Chains A and B, each alone.
Chain A
Amino acid sequence: MAVTLDQTIAQKQHTFVSRVLSSQTFWVVIAVILACLFLSFATDAFATQKNLYNITRNITFVAIVALGMTFVIITGGIDLSVGSVLCLCSMVLAVTMHAGYSIEVGILASIATALAIGAFNGVLIAYLGFPPFVVTLGMLSVARSLAMVASNNTVVFQFGPDHDKLLALGGGAWVFGIANPVLYMILLALITGFILRWTKFGRHIFAIGGNEHAATLTGVPVRQIKVAVYMISALSAGVAGIIQTGWLGAVTTNLGTGMELQVIAATVIGGANLAGGVGTAFGAIVGAALIEVIRNSLGLLGINAFWQGTFIGGAILLAVLFDRIRNFRRSD
């Protein structure tokens, strides 16, 4: 029977199931579930309400920043400054509130700081052609230093008149006993997923990561979009900083040190490609979850904490290995 041209064109090559099975994110989800099942049986402490509450909440800070990082990584960029920006934004919030301003003013100042830093990074990268690695490496140093300047390198733990409001914002559990940070994370993940899949902006982000030259030639506003993604990344760090401040109840200038690496690890484990063009919101969350489950399990299983780095590093390599194997098969 002859197949007409129209039939060929209308044919869908991949079913929903085959697409899911071939995604790295799916296998990482399986890994997380298996790890959780194993830990529930192997230890008494894992499947307790308190431990699960802790895990889900600990995931959120890395996950929220990873959502922002996903935008940057899809365009083929990188943002190394997120840990320092998180610290600076926390500090701006803390210092502003400590000086007697309300929580609204504090959050506004903190968000404005984040957006200004993101815009600065973005303009250097998009308009002046600096390599993202270099610009954000510089900002990593600058933002941390500014946080020290702002606080005179002290610990801030009194947040003025709205002290309790801030602690409730980050430390409370307003809905069904789910920690507030988890709710923020879910909300932000939904927004991120929507933007990436359903908006023109999201489509253009993928286009830039796939072939920046092509995006420019077809009239995609590449520069503006690049500035926007670095602003989103810094904003996500700022938001995570605000929530973390409320949760911790104190801000020190080493908050978020080394966090950029965890965040990048989470995005990559979740299926984002550092070469650009690939990444999902769900992947960022799942990647963050896997890292946290590994950390938590090592503690519960009584394995020396010094091994943490080895296991997390192993997870990064393993996740990417799956991706390589799939690509080898395809290219055969």
Chain B
Amino acid sequence: MSVLELANISKHFGAIQAVNDVSFTLEAGEVVGLMGDNGAGKSTLVKMIAGNFRPSHGTMRMDDKELILHKPVEARQHGIEIVHQDLALCNNLTAAANVYLGRELRRGVGPFRILDYAAMYKRAGQIFAELKSETRPRDLVKQMSGGQRQAVAIARTMLSQAKIVLMDEPTAAISVRQVAEVLNLIRHLRDQGIAVVLISHRMPDVFDVADRVIVMRRGRKVADKKIASSSPEEVTGLITGAIEQVA
């Protein structure tokens, strides 16, 4: 049974057809690389899964039930987590505050509930340890390195029992050592049975960690195949349009 199924999804903004009739399924515990040139529709597609946009046409099904998302919060409630390309961090807040942003822990009763700093620091610290990241929950994100910032953004997805984690260019702006860390983390998520969608421009990362690759060009899906039966050359051809389409 697939964890997520997209059927004939399209999205247009006025006259612009950003995503055109895309269908695919996502299985639990698999890593899918989503590739394509700028403007191919990757981000729009992911934003529909994350609840930022509603599809113009087509349906999404999760665990064989129709999935209609109006807001990002609803996607989260269904176990869909996203790591945004710009990481969506607030520099003026601590790492723990960022991890818990929008779902702060509180203690107390009724209307007299206050932020539970201790619990948030503790849990955030545990997650960073799990991620093997030297990130201190009390530090301001302003002072952090690229890898630490990535860890903070990824830690958010581990607060609840996620089924799907969407990662938008997680390895675009970090050092080589940190790329390896992030790829390890992706495997870590996969081993827990989470489906990971990895949007990336970096061919080596996708071929390193993904089980399957989906290629988009001009809003259409032009390939969906196992990594084992594809090659970087073929994928490059599909992205640029040198190869029209493969089954």
Which one of B38-46, B133-141, B181-189, B207-215 is at the A interface? B133-141
Q: Is the CB of A219 within 8 A of B71?
A: yes
With beta carbons under 8 angstroms apart, the residue of B72, B87, B115, B135 that contacts A203 is: B115
Q: Is A277 an interface residue (CB 8 A)?
A: yes
With beta carbons under 8 angstroms apart, the residue of A8, A10, A200, A214 that contacts B90 is: A214
| Most interface-central of B93, B97, B103, B125 (chain A CB within 10 A) | B93
Interface residues in A6-50 (C-beta closer than 8 Å to B):
6, 8-14
In the complex, what's the smallest C-beta–C-beta distance from B157 to chain A, in angstroms? 12
**Chain B residues, CB < 8 A from A183:** none
Q: Is the CB of A210 within 8 A of B134?
A: no
Interface residues in B73-105 (C-beta closer than 8 Å to A):
73, 76, 82, 84, 86-93, 97, 101-104
Q: Is the CB of B89 within 8 A of A211?
A: yes
Closest to B72 in A: A219
Determine the distance from Cα of A210 to Cα of B132 in the docked complex, in whole angstroms. 27
With beta carbons under 8 angstroms apart, the residue of A13, A198, A215, A277 that contacts B115 is: A198
Question: What is the predominant secondary structure among interface residues of chain B facing chain A?
Answer: loop
In the complex, what's the smallest C-beta–C-beta distance from A211 to chain B, in angstroms? 4
Q: Is A217 an interface residue (CB 8 A)?
A: yes
**Chain B residues, CB < 8 A from A204:** 102
Determine the distance from Cα of A10 to Cα of B126 in the docked complex, in whole angstroms. 10
Number of A-B contacts (CB under 8 A): 87
With beta carbons under 8 angstroms apart, the residue of B76, B86, B89 that contacts A219 is: B76
Q: Is B106 an interface residue (CB 8 A)?
A: yes
**Chain B residues, CB < 8 A from A182:** none
Interface residues in B208-230 (C-beta closer than 8 Å to A):
none
Q: Is the CB of A8 within 8 A of B115?
A: no
Q: Is the CB of A277 within 8 A of B71?
A: no
Q: Is the CB of A218 within 8 A of B101?
A: yes
Provide the B151-181 mask, 1 if CB < 8 A to any CB of A, else 0.
0000010000000000000000000000000
Q: Is A199 an interface residue (CB 8 A)?
A: yes
Q: Is the CB of A215 within 8 A of B137?
A: no
Q: Is the CB of A200 within 8 A of B106?
A: yes
Interface residues in B110-154 (C-beta closer than 8 Å to A):
113-115, 125, 128-129, 132, 134-139
A200-B104, A218-B101 are contacts. A213–B88 as well, Cβ < 8 Å? yes
Interface residues in A212-258 (C-beta closer than 8 Å to B):
213-215, 217-220
Provide the A307-330 mask, 1 if CB < 8 A to any CB of B, else 0.
000000000000000000000000
Q: Is A282 an interface residue (CB 8 A)?
A: no
A5-B129, A11-B136, A215-B101 are contacts. A207–B90 as well, Cβ < 8 Å? yes
**Chain A residues, CB < 8 A from B71:** 219
Q: Is the CB of B115 within 8 A of A200?
A: yes
Q: Is the CB of A203 within 8 A of B129?
A: no
Interface residues in A142-201 (C-beta closer than 8 Å to B):
197-200
Q: Is the CB of B90 within 8 A of A9?
A: no
Closest to B71 in A: A219
**Chain B residues, CB < 8 A from A9:** 125, 128-129, 134-137
In the complex, what's the smallest C-beta–C-beta distance from A191 to chain B, in angstroms? 13
Q: Is A119 an interface residue (CB 8 A)?
A: no
Q: Is A71 an interface residue (CB 8 A)?
A: no
Q: Is A209 an interface residue (CB 8 A)?
A: yes
Q: Is the CB of B101 within 8 A of A214?
A: yes
**Chain B residues, CB < 8 A from A6:** 129
In the complex, what's the smallest C-beta–C-beta distance from A324 to chain B, in angstroms? 16
Determine the distance from Cα of A10 to Cα of B113 in the docked complex, in whole angstroms. 26
Q: Is the CB of B129 within 8 A of A218?
A: no
Residues on B facing A (Cβ under 8 Å) = 52, 71-73, 76, 82, 84, 86-93, 97, 101-104, 106, 113-115, 125, 128-129, 132, 134-139, 156
Provide a sorted-by-A list of 29 A–B residue pairs whose CB atoms are within 8 angstroms.
A6-B129, A8-B134, A9-B125, A9-B128, A9-B129, A9-B136, A11-B136, A199-B115, A200-B115, A206-B92, A209-B92, A210-B90, A210-B92, A210-B93, A211-B88, A211-B91, A213-B88, A214-B84, A214-B87, A214-B90, A215-B101, A215-B102, A217-B72, A218-B88, A218-B101, A218-B102, A219-B72, A219-B76, A278-B92
Residues on A facing B (Cβ under 8 Å) = 5-6, 8-14, 197-200, 203-204, 206-207, 209-211, 213-215, 217-220, 277-278
Nearest 7 interchain pairs by C-beta: A210-B90, A277-B92, A214-B88, A210-B92, A218-B102, A219-B102, A198-B114
